[in-house]
A and B are shown apart, each in its own frame.
Chain A
């Protein structure tokens, strides 16, 4: 098939509105032969990208990590195209109840940490890696470790795009059988505060990860170079002042597309290795991951 076909994960019904809108704009004013397909989870999308069944993929950070590994193992080239302004310099935090006796990450030894879904970079993989930097060993599926992990598996396969698990982890700070700490991304700490899930003043940020980057648009081996270049230019040229684009950009959660950068994924690469989530060839190794 000619043109450029993008894969995106349908983590929410709004994904259809977003990509239908972008498709019309890219094909109309943009003049690009563009189409999209939707996936129910990131793993199939990544496999299809590397196999050349879609040309570009709107990848989560974890999807980027796996795509990079799969491509390297198969000698295939991936081209980062763009990312959102909101994909840069995110942080995850480990939050405890304001009155908790826990004063440092080390104090979590022997206690329980609530996390998001098994495949959430921001609410599981990265914060658990942060715990390891403090010399802790979060328990894996076998239960072995010096910090118990209570995982809230909602939207498994969506790489944490569905924030339900994260919200439940936050709620669990105040549940009947409460966790001692909860792992959430900074923006959700704020969101849950405003929603009243974590009333203002009820929690304290115990620690936070270094900044990391989030989603990235990735072109695969089947993508035509000229079309990919044009696609990137069109995205970068999207103007938040354009009344037709603005609602789509608002839905997608950005004000402008930025050039891609790859330094922001090193932390997640490390976290994936530590957890044994994927191996170096991009094979799924997490035994309790069923996307």
Chain B
């Protein structure tokens, strides 16, 4: 098979090899390509380039080298390119759902890319689709990307506060607590990301937006906490211990289950409560913005856990154990920071009047009841029988997250 290509005045030191490569690609090994052109070093360039790329100059071309350096030059195509791609395989299909099992040898290749054989396999721990996937992941990622808000403009930071001093201290304490929790909620998806095979692109993207969401939450809660110029509130040992058990969770699904289904699920009620009883617009806004994001995190956690349980019923046992394990690890801790609990009461009360405190107390009791109800509903959706759902919900940490 023969072909020709004309480089005009282009040299191989100026991109000419792209034209040569393009013409050679259409030929089988052994095929001949005649290169014409007027670059004065064309023949010298082609000889060196062909040698380096496993092609050769045709014998008659070689011997005529003394007669000037411009073309035409005849190239015989070598086999290196075919050899390089001989064992190449596609990393699944670009469209549609990811493969059931992501090959570690695909590494960081885009889903659907043609992957040259060789190189180090990626050290990802999660390579099985069912262990990380939910069909809703692509839609949730799209919603997250579309719904990202700018902390600088989404909140009117210059609005007048006008909050009584003691109520303001309660708000500051709650913000201090929220920052601590959101930091845990940022680290967990970030840690899962590092062990996820990138073939599950939409889950990777979703976890990345989740971490980015939490970064914004950390920012706005910190900023609200410092808005009145005072110091931040307290961080209890028990609260931190409770969060740290989440960081240590080694499995993708149990980490997602404990964090998103139970923890962030509970936080939806908490943030709505803060929004409802906020003494000022800034507090109301930061809680409203955060709850929108958290709802997506909960949706993925619930959908993924349900997806895995649907393929493997026995996984309910693993989930149950993870709740029990966390519960026993936290038996000796105080759980929720008392100052956080008291701040919630005061926030809902709005003043230290006994009647107001009584109202606030009832409101927090109702909050805990609706948190419990929400957890039971999600556990039932995942596949737990009602009684077991109630039992597991009761074992959830007193620290809410």
A interface residue numbers (CB < 8 A to B): 85-86, 88-91, 93, 185-187, 189-190, 193-194, 198, 200-201, 203-205, 208, 211, 239-241, 243-244, 246-247, 253, 255-256
Chain A residues closer than 8 Å to B53, beta-carbon distance: 255
What separation, in Å, do the CA atoms of A186 and B51 have in the docked complex?
Answer: 10
Q: Is the CB of B83 within 8 A of A241?
A: yes
A89, A190, A208 interface centre (most CB from chain B within 10 Å): A190
5 additional A-B pairs beyond A201-B14, A205-B69, A211-B65, beta carbons within 8 Å, are: A185-B48, A189-B41, A190-B44, A190-B48, A208-B65
A241-B84, A246-B118 known; A93-B44 Cβ under 8 A: yes
The 4 closest A-B pairs by CB, nearest first: A193-B13, A243-B118, A241-B83, A255-B54
Determine the distance from Cα of A57 to Cα of B52 in the docked complex, in whole angstroms.
Answer: 23
**Interface size for chain B: under 10, 10 to 19, 20 to 34, or 35 or more residues?**
20 to 34
Residues of chain B within 8 A of A247, CB atoms compared: 118-119
B78 at the interface (CB under 8 A from A): yes
Who on chain B is nearest to A89 by CB? B62
Of A89, A198, A204, A240, the contact of B47 (CB 8 Å cutoff): A89
- Known: A200-B14, A205-B69, A246-B118. Contact between A89 and B51, CB under 8 A? yes
| Interchain nearest-CB distance for B330 vs A (Å) | 49
Complex Cα spacing A234 to B117, Å: 22
Q: How many CB-defined contacts (below 8 Å) exist between A and B?
A: 85
Whether a CB of chain A sits under 8 angstroms from the CB of B22 is no
Per-position binary interface string of chain B over residues 34-54, scored 1 when its CB falls under 8 Å from any chain A CB and 0 otherwise: 000000110011011101111
Q: Among B12, B44, B54, B62, which residue has the most Cβ atoms of chain A within 10 A?
A: B44
- Our pick among A88, A201, A211, A243 for the contact of B11 (Cβ within 8 Å) is A201
Given contacts A205-B44, A211-B62, contact A243 B87 (CB under 8 A): yes
14 A-B contacts (beta carbon < 8 Å): A85-B54, A86-B52, A93-B44, A193-B11, A193-B13, A201-B11, A203-B41, A205-B41, A208-B44, A240-B54, A240-B79, A240-B80, A244-B118, A255-B79
Contact A255 B11 (CB under 8 A): no
A91 contact from B14, B40, B47, B80, Cβ within 8 A: B47
Q: Roughly how many angstroms separate A187 CA and B65 CA in the complex, as a whole number? A: 16
Name which residue of chain A comes closest to B54, CB basis. A255
A86–B78 alpha-carbon span in the complex (Å): 12
Determine the distance from Cα of A203 to Cα of B119 in the docked complex, in whole angstroms. Answer: 40
Contacts of B49 in A (CB 8 A): 190
Chain A nearest Cβ from B286, distance in angstroms: 52
CB B14 to nearest CB in A, in angstroms, measures: 4
Docked pose: A200 CA to B49 CA in angstroms? 16
Bits for B4-31, please: 1 = Cβ < 8 Å to A, else 0. Answer: 0000000111100000000000000000
A8 to B187, alpha carbons, bound, how many Å?
Answer: 50
Give the residues in chain A near B80, CB-CB below 8 Å: 240, 255
Question: Which residue from A91, A211, A240 sits with its C-beta under 8 Å from B83?
Answer: A240
Q: Judging by beta carbons under 8 Å apart, are A241 and B87 in contact? A: yes
* B-side contacts of A255, CB under 8 Å: 53-54, 78-80, 83
- In the complex, which residues of chain B have a beta carbon less than 8 angstroms from the beta carbon of A203? 41
| Contacting pair A198 B13 (CB below 8 A) | yes
Cross-chain contact A205 with B40 (CB below 8 angstroms): yes
- CB < 8 Å: which of B52, B79, B116 contacts A187? B52
Q: Which of B52, B62, B83 contacts A239 (CB 8 A)?
A: B83
- CB contacts (< 8 Å) of A91 on chain B: these are 44, 47, 65
Name the residue of chain A whose CB is nearest to the CB of B55: A255
Shortest beta-carbon distance from B130 to chain A in Å: 29
Q: Is the CB of B41 within 8 A of A240?
A: no
Q: Which of B39-95 contact A (CB under 8 A)?
A: 40-41, 44-45, 47-49, 51-54, 62, 65, 69, 78-80, 82-84, 86-87
What is the CA–CA distance of A214 and B117 in the complex, to the nearest angstrom?
A: 31
Q: In the bound complex, what is the Cα–Cα distance between A193 and B86 (angstroms)?
A: 32
What is the bound-complex CA distance between A246 and B79, given in angstroms? 13
Within the complex, the shortest CB–CB distance from A43 to chain B, in Å, comes to 27
Within 8 A of A (CB), among B81-131: 82-84, 86-87, 116-119
Bound CA–CA A103/B356 (angstroms): 103
Question: Is the CB–CB distance between B117 and A243 below 8 Å?
Answer: yes
Whether B84 contacts A240 by the Cβ 8 Å rule is: yes
Distance to closest chain A CB from B71 (angstroms)? 14
Give the complex CA separation of A246 and B119 in angstroms.
10
CB of A161, distance to nearest CB on chain B (Å):
16
Q: How far is the CA of A52 from the CA of B183 in the complex (A)?
A: 67
B-side contacts of A239, CB under 8 Å:
83
Residues of B within 8 A of A200 (CB): 11, 13-14
Q: CA–CA, A204 to B118, complex, Å? A: 41
